[in-house]
Amino acid sequence: MTDWIAHRAAVLPVQPAVIESSGATTYGQLDTLVAQACVTLAHLGVERGTRVGVLTSNSLSFVVLVHALVRTGAILVPLNTRLTDPEVRYQIENAAVSVLLVDDASVGRAIGRDASPAARVLRLEDLRLDDLVSTRVDAPVRAPGALPTINLDDWQGILHTSGTTGRPRGAVITNSNHWWSACASAFNLGLHADDRWLLTLPAYHIGGLSILFRAAIYGIGVVLHRRFGPEEVWASLVRDGVTIVSLVPTMLERLLEEAAPARHALRCVLLGGAAASPALLARAAARGVPVVQTYGLTECCSQVATLAPADAITRPGSSGKPLLGIELRIEREGEDGAGQILVRGPTISPGYCDRHTIRPIVDAGGWFHTGDYGQIDPHGYLYVLDRRSDLIVSGGENVYPAEVEAILRGHDGVVDACVVARGDSTWGQVPVCALTTHGAPRADLVEDLAAYCGERLAPFKIPREFRVVEELPRTSTGKLRRGEVRRWFGGAP
Amino acid sequence: MTDWIAHRAAVLPVQPAVIESSGATTYGQLDTLVAQACVTLAHLGVERGTRVGVLTSNSLSFVVLVHALVRTGAILVPLNTRLTDPEVRYQIENAAVSVLLVDDASVGRAIGRDASPAARVLRLEDLRLDDLVSTRVDAPVRAPGALPTINLDDWQGILHTSGTTGRPRGAVITNSNHWWSACASAFNLGLHADDRWLLTLPAYHIGGLSILFRAAIYGIGVVLHRRFGPEEVWASLVRDGVTIVSLVPTMLERLLEEAAPARHALRCVLLGGAAASPALLARAAARGVPVVQTYGLTECCSQVATLAPADAITRPGSSGKPLLGIELRIEREGEDGAGQILVRGPTISPGYCDRHTIRPIVDAGGWFHTGDYGQIDPHGYLYVLDRRSDLIVSGGENVYPAEVEAILRGHDGVVDACVVARGDSTWGQVPVCALTTHGAPRADLVEDLAAYCGERLAPFKIPREFRVVEELPRTSTGKLRRGEVRRWFGGAP
């Protein structure tokens, strides 16, 4: 189909596409930037199918790059800037990245050629996107009938999401996944001519990245923040005319701690990433902040189900109903109707990338088994009871216990480890760890473990507390009884 | 994908789906009616692939039937109630209709078994849809995960559109055509939670039928009028909260002759079917009526390009820019850049139906040659110069000169005929005819011709004036010089 950016440049060239505090870039300008970036990428040897790792935080250059890779037919492998070098290296290898673009903040990291010979490392600055961006030349008017096209079946990206196996998995996301997701979201949230979507989530996660695609397909503006700050968000709502913002609960908590401006055009806070507490939702409602809870996954290209604001009071804790085209089913396990959540539809990733092969993620019936547990009430409302059964969500970032445990078991002094969530007023949850040792633990073990994890794990994944125990509780079949360990740390089982 | 009506019934069962002066039918109720109609249709032998002719005017029963045929996988052949018996019979045969449903107003017409043995004729009333509709039972809540699905590649309908060959052609429209058209339209006009689309165009044409599909996909309400009346439209805008209405220029003319209510929620008049005069657009603007001009065709599942209200003043006469996913190109013929309009995209019909075969309508490059002439200015705005070169649009109905001429040439007293448009204050255009005869014409020829046409052509197709001439003007290659004939009747060449 027609390239989304080129279409908007042809139809509404002066419409703002990206709004930053420093000024706005129109769709005409963005289209020109994307076209120029495509030429530069071609010079660098990036072509159709090339897998391009990108390690940078939110910026206009990143937006240009995302759309230039789509137009080129190359595959974006966005890398979380908070990961450690070994974590980044693993993802680069797993996605078979051949070109790695890093911003100046990361250029000195041990993730490049020496550390991972397969990938050629380039400085993002070498693309000179910032120079292009700073000039923001007015685009020549697009000649009609000569617009670039994109292939909906092309892979847009490989996005890593850790699983219970302890190793991150690279979910392939296609242009088609983004298209269907954007349509389904619009037919749920509506679409106003003056809509502007605030992107303050990191764009290397699906929750942020998908905003760039929705905006391009709808032809609306993205208000771009480099990082989250509650005061900046409130100021931006007023200054930039933001109508929709995607947040995780921790962000909403912090936002509600600040004084709100008297007037703003906000019509929807799309709240995802983790379960929101009823208290938080009540506080938002009291402040007149219209919250739409959503349940989404990387493998489903973001939103799967959402709860309308009108239902927020009567269905506290629900994630609502599936979007158009998406089907939900519970694989029942107990008497209470709860069980694993299954999802089916055109937004589902074609599979996990394993270097040069792809492993489908749906069963023979087309259902994706999310690993999350939930139930659906008689009125069709979804309640997510447990995300990935043991997933820890800390400040909007996912922490997979199995991944942390695998690292800890690699330490000389550790026999076995169990990582669980502990409630935290700032981050929602933080990881904590119970572990067993060979004989009596060394005096400096905890200190040593913190340093050991610091070299191998992003800061948000490092357990805040290590507790040495005689034995970890297990079921008769040998599975960790995580509920018991959560109780040790003062939580509910 | 998920059946659109069932999805909305599951997600928003109490949302109004069809609003009539007698009351509203919710999506939950509509879903139940559709399910019941599917059972009835199955009893009548209608199954996947069955071609079902339907001859009726706008009604809730027709809406139910349209969606029930989609869910069944059967193919709707909507028939224009204004056509003569021979015209209807031709379409029934051309589309290989095997079941014909007619309303009580048409049940006595000579279009059924005797006249056209292939089709089994049933009274629409036998489906007892009206009984079902009148009860409007509250639907049981849809069990999640068990929604019916529809196949996007299925043929939704066969819609006849006359061509220059003088015989109507049956354009096949798929569910996918409707889906892409609805998405493209939403990403152009936007989508508000309280949108309601007024259907006063006949639903047997694509301009009306496509409203039913957009509404179902968006989950908004259709305000249903059985026929067009300017006073009823204004009243409905106030009473029913209409935000969007699709009209042809003749209807807009008549609407603007009436006094408008002080307050209404109308945000868009989608104006198509024929070129609107600058005077009409100026009058609408002066009255604060927000007009979006559109260029659409049956073969493209309605809208191809639209002109935003903001551009209506600066680009008078333009049909605007293509919708997302649709490409436009001019096949240049002259120095002025004008030529035939070509269209490409996922909304284009897979082909014309010729009984049990289908003839693709796009060339090797995927382009549909519309037969309309136009040009695209340097800013990308489309100007349609001549619809189907010689098409006459009378009160929103297409009159194809070639079709009328072929009928006239079949009359004993006529040698040759040329039918052209004459401007008309009520109907926009009406057909008029110049003709040659064998020797001197009989005294009663004109009277006889009117009666002859009345038996074979819908009233709006019958020439309002017959003028006998010595010779019809032709080019050196033998083509009728229609411009010259138009001048005879006082028009521009």
Residue B484: pLDDT over 70: yes
The predicted structure's pLDDT at residue B144: 56
Position B140 confidence tier, pLDDT thresholds 50, 70, 90 = low
Among A71-85, A303-317, A409-423, B105-119, top mean pLDDT goes to: A71-85
A128 Cα to chain B: minimum distance (Å): 30
Please give the mean pLDDT across all residues of chain B.
88
Asked if residue A468 lies in contact with residue A449, where contact means CB atoms within 8 angstroms, the answer is: no
- What size, in residues, is chain B? 493
The interface predicted TM-score of the complex, written ipTM, equals: 0.80
Residues A125-136 have pLDDT tens digits of: 877 776 666 665
Which residue ranges make up each domain of chain B? 4-384, 392-488
Residue of B nearest to A217 (CA): B187
The predicted structure's pLDDT at residue A143: 60
- List, in sequence order, the alpha helices (H) in A95-229: 129-135, 175-189, 206-218
CB contact under 8 A, B380 and A11: yes
Position A145 confidence tier, pLDDT thresholds 50, 70, 90 = low
The CB-side HSE value for A186 (13 A sphere, CA atoms) comes to: 33
Which residue, among A7, A149, A321, would best test binding to B if mutated, counting the most B CBs under 10 Å from its CB?
A7
This prediction has a pTM of 0.83
Residue B266's closest CA among B292, B248, B227? B292
Average pLDDT of B300-309?
A: 90
φ, ψ for residue B322 (rounded to 5)?
Answer: -65, 150
Residues of A engaging B, defined by a Cβ cutoff of 8 Å: 1-2, 4, 7, 10-11, 141-145, 147, 183, 186-187, 190-193, 217-219, 321-322, 324-330, 345-346, 376, 378-380, 382
Residue A90's closest CA among A463, A358, A359, A355? A355
CB < 8 Å to A322, chain B: 10-11, 144
Average pLDDT of B120-137?
A: 74
CATH, domain range B4-384: 3.40.50.12780
B52 Cα to chain A: minimum distance (Å): 27
Average pLDDT of A208-225?
A: 97
Average pLDDT of A361-387?
A: 88
The predicted structure's pLDDT at residue A336: 65
Residue A364: pLDDT over 70: yes
Residue A139: pLDDT over 60: no
Asked if residue B53 lies in contact with residue B106, where contact means CB atoms within 8 angstroms, the answer is: no
More confident residue, B200 or A130: B200
Average pLDDT of B31-58?
A: 94
Residue B150's closest CA among B42, B44, B75, B51? B75
CB contact under 8 A, B10 and A380: yes
CB < 8 Å to B191, chain A: 186-187, 190-191
- Cβ burial of A410 (10 Å; 0-12, 13-18, 19+) is exposed
CB contact under 8 A, B330 and A147: no
CB < 8 Å to A343, chain B: none
Transcribe A235-247 into DSSP letters.
Answer: HHHHHS---EEEE
Looking at chain A, the whole-number percentage of residues with pLDDT higher than 70 is 91
The predicted structure's pLDDT at residue B316: 75
CB < 8 Å to B382, chain A: 144
Which residue, among A179, A191, A323, would best test binding to B if mutated, counting the most B CBs under 10 Å from its CB?
A191
Residues B66-102 have pLDDT tens digits of: 999 999 999 999 999 888 888 899 999 999 999 999 9
Residue B467: pLDDT over 90: yes
Residues A439-463 have pLDDT tens digits of: 888 889 999 999 999 999 999 999 9
Among A29-38, A398-407, B257-266, top mean pLDDT goes to: A29-38
Residue B299: pLDDT over 90: yes
Tell me if domain A4-384 and domain A392-488 are identical in fold: no
Place of tokens 């990143």: A62
Q: Which range has the worst mean pLDDT, B107-111, B295-299, B423-427?
A: B107-111
CB < 8 Å to A143, chain B: 380
Interface size A-B, in CB pairs within 8 Å, comes to 98
Please report, as a single letter, which amino acid is at residue B136.
Answer: R
Which residue, among B191, B326, B367, B377, would best test binding to A if mutated, counting the most A CBs under 10 Å from its CB?
B191
Residue B164: pLDDT over 50: no
Residues A156-178 have pLDDT tens digits of: 999 998 554 557 899 999 999 99
Task: State the Cα–Cα distance between residues A266 and A120, nearest whole angstrom.
Answer: 43
Asked if residue B144 lies in contact with residue B11, where contact means CB atoms within 8 angstroms, the answer is: no
The predicted structure's pLDDT at residue A385: 74
Considering only the beta carbons, identify the residue of B10, B145, B187 that sits closest to A219.
B187
- Cβ burial of B358 (10 Å; 0-12, 13-18, 19+) is middle
CB < 8 Å to B145, chain A: 327-330, 376
Considering only the beta carbons, identify the residue of B147, B217, B327 that sits closest to A147.
B327
- In degrees to the nearest 10, what's the CA dihedral of B69, B72, B73, B76? -20
Average pLDDT of B112-136?
A: 71
Average pLDDT of A360-366?
A: 95
Quick one: DSSP state of residue B277?
P
Residues B398-454 have pLDDT tens digits of: 788 878 887 898 898 888 899 999 999 888 899 999 999 988 888 899 899 999 999
Q: Would you give the end-to-end CA distance of chain B in angstroms? A: 50
Q: What tokens does A111 get?
A: 């993730």
Residue of B nearest to A345 (CA): B1
Residue B132: pLDDT over 90: no
Please give the mean pLDDT across all residues of chain A.
88
Which is it for the CA torsion B211, B212, B213, B215, positive or negative?
A: positive
Average pLDDT of B30-58?
A: 94
Residues A96-127 have pLDDT tens digits of: 999 999 998 888 787 766 666 667 888 888 77
Average pLDDT of A173-191?
A: 96
Asked if residue B44 lies in contact with residue B122, where contact means CB atoms within 8 angstroms, the answer is: yes
Residue B241: pLDDT over 80: yes
Which homologous superfamily is A392-488 in? ANL, C-terminal domain (3.30.300.30)
Residue B273's closest CA among B427, B56, B426, B433? B427
CB contact under 8 A, B187 and A191: yes
